[in-house]
Amino acid sequence: MLVIRPIKQSDYDALHTCAVESGHGFTSLPINEELLTNRIAHSEYSFAKQDVTEPGDEGYLMVGYDTESGEVAGTTGVEAAIGWDVPFYSYHISKVVHSSQKLGVNNIVKLLTFGNNYTGCSEICTLFLRPNFRGGLNGRLMSKCRFLLMAEHPERFSKTIFAEMRGVSDAEGNSPFWQWLQEHFFSIDFTLADYLTGIGKKGFIADLMPKLPIYVNLLSQEAQAVIGEVHDNTRPALKLLEREGFTNRGYVDIFDAGPTVECDLRNIESVRHSIRSQVQIADHASSKDFLIGNTSFENFRAVAAKAAYDQVTNTVILSPEVASALEVKEGEFVRILAQ
């Protein structure tokens, strides 16, 4: 059974493994001991923080571990409010019309405008599931456990939830979009720019990024082709978020031009349809799958398991094994989401 829980310092080696296996373009997992250690410490601080009434500098990082082997299968996280301490940049795609009635010419041209429009929003991030564990409901659990957390503790998150999707790059980490920017503005390769961003050294972006809007039709054909497109490995994650109600509002990443998708927290499907239900512990023969999270924040736990839900009494029957994994007792509450 895969169990999601808040990360702790003893998970450093596992998180480092995830950082190595995630490859190029996974900015939120830099292969840097100091940064990974600091991120774990910040997550521990954030989960322990009491009396939070609005999102602030908190960053919540979790891991999924296999109860049989004890092996960490992956990681998933949420940043409560981005852009306050370190600027968060993105490009917005807009259109302008160049028209001449005299000549009978009307041209619609796309622009990329540099900005900080997601400042203060909550970001779901750092979702990585190791290859050996990509089966069953594991991927859904790693992604949707964050929505169970949000549904139970909405005061800790912003109205708008967004996610940056990994853009197109090759096996060596080369991004066609970045190659155009590199040639004209940056003179450093994509992997270095990506790494510097991951370790928080973003000053070069503001220093070197063109401040005026960029006409898309001036970019190379290769760069234009990948704007708003996702890396092949990211397609399943994007489809899952789209089914949750996330959509692209014209924002893309400034490095690889991968799409940014967003949704109002209250409109996320898993938030809307999750149910707070009282626990009964007993063996049962139900064949229905649920994602289940306890109602604790500091000691949050989530699993994908069989359960029996009674709508009339709003009770859910959990096996002793599942109840133990969730660290809940008879009569306590859990949040469930049918699959």
Please tell me the total number of residues recorded for the chain in this structure: 339
Residues 127 and 195 in one domain: yes
Same domain for 278 and 245: no
CATH of the domain at 329: 2.40.40.20
Residue that terminates a domain, selected from 270, 291, 321: 270
Candidates 153, 231, 273, 284; catalytic one: 231
Question: Coil, strand or helix: which one is 248?
Answer: strand
Would 97 be classed as within a structural domain? no
Q: Is residue 178 part of a domain?
A: yes
Q: Is residue 99 part of a domain?
A: no
What gap in Å lies between CA 100 and CA 123, rounded to an integer? 43
Give how far Cα 338 sits from Cα of 107, 137, 330, Å. Answer: 49, 12, 21
| Boundary residue ending a domain (270, 305, 326) | 270
Counted domains in the chain = 2
The answer to whether residue 128 is domain-embedded is yes
In this prediction, the residues of the chain whose per-residue pLDDT falls under 50 are none
Whether 174 and 227 map to the same domain: the answer is yes
The encoded tokens of residue 146 equal 């964050």
User: Do 233 and 204 have their domain in common?
Assistant: yes
Assess whether 164 and 244 both reside in one domain. yes
Structural domain contains residue 110: no
Give me the phi and psi of 113, to 5 degrees please. Answer: -115, 125
Write out the two tokens for 334. 């859990």
What's the whole-model pTM score? 0.89
Residue 103 lies in a domain: no
- Catalytic residue flag (residue 231): yes
Are 284 and 250 within one domain? no
Q: Do 211 and 314 reside in the same domain of the chain?
A: no
Residues 49 and 143 occupy one common structural domain: yes
Which residues have C-beta within 8 Å of that of residue 91, sequence separation ≥ 6?
A: 112, 113, 114, 115, 214, 251, 252, 253, 254, 257
Q: What per-residue confidence (pLDDT) applies to 111?
A: 95
Residues 198, 83 within the same domain: yes
- Residues 180, 289: one domain? no
Domain that holds residue 331: 274-338
Does 211 lie in the same domain as 81? Answer: yes
Asked whether residue 188 is assigned to any structural domain, the reply reads yes
294 lies in some domain: yes
- Angle between helix 33-48 and 12-22 (nearest 10): 120
CATH number at residue 45: 3.40.630.30
Q: Which of 270, 288, 308 is the last residue of a domain?
A: 270
Residues 193 and 295 grouped into a single domain:
no
pLDDT tens, 14-47?
A: 999 999 998 765 767 888 898 899 999 999 999 9
